[in-house]
Protein backbone atom coordinates (compact mmCIF):
# COMPACT_ATOMS: atom_id res chain seq x y z
CA UNK A 1 0.00 0.00 0.00
CA UNK A 2 1.14 3.53 -0.73
CA UNK A 3 2.31 5.75 2.13
CA UNK A 4 -0.45 7.70 3.85
CA UNK A 5 -3.07 7.42 6.55
CA UNK A 6 -5.82 4.86 6.02
CA UNK A 7 -9.01 5.24 8.07
CA UNK A 8 -11.07 2.59 6.30
CA UNK A 9 -11.53 -0.88 7.71
CA UNK A 10 -9.46 -3.43 5.80
CA UNK A 11 -11.08 -6.88 5.85
CA UNK A 12 -9.33 -10.04 4.68
CA UNK A 13 -11.69 -13.01 4.63
CA UNK A 14 -10.37 -15.27 1.86
CA UNK A 15 -8.25 -18.19 3.07
CA UNK A 16 -4.94 -18.78 1.34
CA UNK A 17 -2.58 -21.78 1.54
CA UNK A 18 0.70 -22.62 3.29
CA UNK A 19 2.48 -22.50 -0.07
CA UNK A 20 0.56 -19.43 -1.29
CA UNK A 21 0.42 -16.65 1.33
CA UNK A 22 -1.07 -13.25 0.60
CA UNK A 23 1.05 -10.35 1.85
CA UNK A 24 -0.39 -6.92 2.63
CA UNK A 25 2.60 -4.61 2.81
CA UNK A 26 3.31 -0.92 3.23
CA UNK A 27 5.33 0.40 0.29
CA UNK A 28 7.76 1.96 2.80
CA UNK A 29 8.21 0.47 6.26
CA UNK A 30 6.06 2.59 8.58
CA UNK A 31 4.88 4.71 5.65
CA UNK A 32 1.29 3.51 5.71
CA UNK A 33 -0.61 4.26 8.91
CA UNK A 34 -3.78 2.44 9.94
CA UNK A 35 -5.85 4.73 12.16
CA UNK A 36 -9.48 4.25 13.24
CA UNK A 37 -11.89 6.74 11.66
CA UNK A 38 -13.39 7.51 15.09
CA UNK A 39 -13.15 6.38 18.69
CA UNK A 40 -16.10 4.01 18.25
CA UNK A 41 -14.52 2.09 15.34
CA UNK A 42 -13.84 -1.49 16.39
CA UNK A 43 -10.81 -2.15 14.18
CA UNK A 44 -8.97 -0.93 11.11
CA UNK A 45 -7.52 -4.31 10.19
CA UNK A 46 -9.79 -7.33 10.41
CA UNK A 47 -8.14 -10.59 9.30
CA UNK A 48 -10.49 -13.56 9.25
CA UNK A 49 -8.38 -15.82 7.06
CA UNK A 50 -5.44 -18.20 7.17
CA UNK A 51 -1.98 -17.58 5.70
CA UNK A 52 -2.01 -13.77 5.62
CA UNK A 53 1.15 -11.70 6.22
CA UNK A 54 0.95 -8.05 7.30
CA UNK A 55 4.19 -6.07 6.97
CA UNK A 56 5.45 -2.54 7.52
CA UNK A 57 2.37 -0.70 8.81
CA UNK A 58 2.16 1.72 11.70
CA UNK A 59 -1.03 1.03 13.66
CA UNK A 60 -2.39 3.89 15.78
CA UNK A 61 -5.20 3.85 18.34
CA UNK A 62 -5.28 0.13 19.07
CA UNK A 63 -5.61 -1.44 22.48
pLDDT tens for 15-60 read 999 999 999 999 999 899 988 877 666 678 889 999 999 999 998 8
Residue 12 belongs to domain spanning: 4-59
Measured between alpha carbons, how far is 16 from 38 in angstroms, rounded to an integer? 31
**Which residue, among 14, 26, 9, has the nearest Cα to 52 in the 3D structure?**
14
What is the pLDDT at residue 47? 92
Predicted pLDDT at 63 = 58
Considering the entire predicted model, what is its pTM? 0.74
CB neighbourhood size of 54 (10 A): 16
Q: How many domains does the chain have?
A: 1
pLDDT recorded at residue 8: 86
Confidence label for 61 from pLDDT (cuts 50, 70 and 90): confident
Question: Residue 34 class from Cβ within 10 Å (0-12 exposed, 13-18 middle, 19+ buried)?
Answer: buried
Amino acid sequence: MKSGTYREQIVVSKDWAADNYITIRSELSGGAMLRPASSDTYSTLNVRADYVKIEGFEVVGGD
